[in-house]
Amino acid sequence: MSKTTASVASTASATAVAPDRHSGGSLAAGTRPVIAESPTARGRRARIALRGLQVLLALFFAVASALPKLTAHASAADSFHEMGWGSAGMYAVGVLELAGAIGLLIPVTQSVAAMGLSALMVGAFVVQVVYFGGEYAATPLILIVPLALIAWARRGQNVELARLLGRGPRGA
């Protein structure tokens, strides 16, 4: 047995039976790999890397971004007062960032949290350009990239969230 054939055979034995979209039936195990649930080492590494990225972003948003706003640190308070948003705006943004950080860690809310934080980063970009001359405008744009990746990769969880909220399909 060649190395390629052995690799395909081992993948075939580890791959679950997947429905065939074209014929309506099911395929024999291994004739078509299920990519999203890939049992391969590469798929496992990708899931671990994505989870690590989520944890890092959650720490960033909770500690480096939300905490200064929620504790009314001078740097955050001065910025919000300069914009005319005051303490209420500062606390509101801090709560939203903290909620997003926590949401990135809860499996059923990961995609929605990433989308919400992306929307906050669009707002942060606009604020940086309009009020502060764009000096740090690249930071929110850079953060949107991994947030969009998380939102896309975890999009399957949105169905489960909708079901839990009573808005999705009921199933077994």
Query: What pLDDT, in 10s, does the model give residues 95-129?
Result: 999 999 999 999 999 999 999 999 999 999 999 99
Q: Which residues of the chain have pLDDT under 70?
A: 1-38, 168-172
CB-based burial label for 112 (10 Å; 0-12, 13-18, 19+): buried
The structure tokens listed for 8 are 């395909």
Centroid of chain to Cα 48: 13
Is the Cβ–Cβ distance between 150 and 143 less than 8 Å? no
Task: Give the per-residue pLDDT at 10.
Answer: 40
Specify the long-range contacts of residues 142-148, CB closer than 8 Å, at least 24 apart: 143/57, 143/60, 143/117, 144/118, 146/53, 146/57, 147/57, 147/114, 147/115, 147/117, 147/118, 147/121, 148/114, 148/118
Global pTM? 0.74
d(CA 158, CA 151): 10
Nearest CA-CA partner of 36 in 24, 27, 44, 25: 44
Q: HSE of 133 in the Cβ direction (CA atoms, 13 Å)?
A: 1
Long-range contacts of 52-55 (CB under 8 A, 24+ apart): 53/146, 53/149, 53/150, 54/104, 54/105, 54/110, 54/150, 55/104, 55/105
Task: Give phi and psi for 35, each to the nearest 5.
Answer: -65, -45
∠3-7-11 over CA atoms, to 5°? Answer: 170
